[in-house]
Amino acid sequence: MKRWWTTLILFLPAAAALAVEAPTPEVMQSLRAGEVVVRSINEDDAAGAARVMALFQSPAEDLWNVLLSCEQAFLYVKGMTACEVLESDGPISRVQHVVKRPWPLSPLDIVFEAKYDPYSTIDFRLLDGNMDRFEGQWRFSETEHGLLLDYEVHIKPRVPAPRFLIRHSIRRQLPNLIACLRALSEGSGSPEQQTTDQARCPESRF
């Protein structure tokens, strides 16, 4: 099995670093109910950012086994057509992703570097490709309610897009991707939630 770490969200837009902060009691209540909580951060007309949080009822290692698998990436990244680990040196990997986008946009083709600290953080940044910016971090922490996934991403498309389209993409795509990731890592916590998460995978490929 080809292992890497994943970018998750190759179709979003870009922003400045988001502050690391614990979920509020209200957000935690939503997370415990199985929701994937996402918020977008505005920067300028050509960029955007997002922070996504979700609880997983599975060991961190199980989630990492999905994130570090190119084979699994085809199941949760919508439009993925290629995933290749170009180079791997200890905790650093160089990975290429190609993701199909709606016509008339050309496929997203990027190479990124991932630095990971099992099972705590994954940092990634763009090295090459047809985007101006792609960087962010995955954070994993154990809580009394389960494993908290806290993901932030900053992306700037090479071709500027209207901000309302960027917001729509973030709000529509990210929660589905994270829910599918939770199903693949068997972290949904109940048969009912597993079925719900599974149905949010691209084409429900199970």
**CB-based contacts of 161, cutoff 8 Å, min separation 6:** 13, 46
pLDDT 10s digits, 121-174? 999 999 999 888 889 999 999 999 999 999 998 888 777 655 656 566 666 788
Asked if residue 96 lies in contact with residue 84, where contact means CB atoms within 8 angstroms, the answer is yes
End-to-end CA distance of the chain: 18
What domain range includes position 49?
A: 25-204
Cα(68)–Cα(92) distance, integer angstroms: 12
In a domain, 147, yes or no: yes
pLDDT 10s digits, 91-125? 999 999 999 877 667 788 999 999 989 999 999 99
Cα(170)–Cα(9) distance, integer angstroms: 9
In a domain, 144, yes or no: yes
pLDDT 10s digits, 37-69? 987 666 555 566 788 999 999 999 999 999 889
Cα(175)–Cα(53) distance, integer angstroms: 9
In a domain, 20, yes or no: no
Tally of structural domains, the chain:
1
**CB-based contacts of 143, cutoff 8 Å, min separation 6:** 55
Please give the pLDDT value at position 173: 82
In a domain, 3, yes or no: no
In a domain, 159, yes or no: yes
Q: What is the pTM of this model?
A: 0.83
Cα(179)–Cα(161) distance, integer angstroms: 26
In a domain, 63, yes or no: yes
Instruction: Provide the pairing of β-strand 80-89 with 146-157.
Output: unpaired
CATH number at residue 36: 3.30.530.20
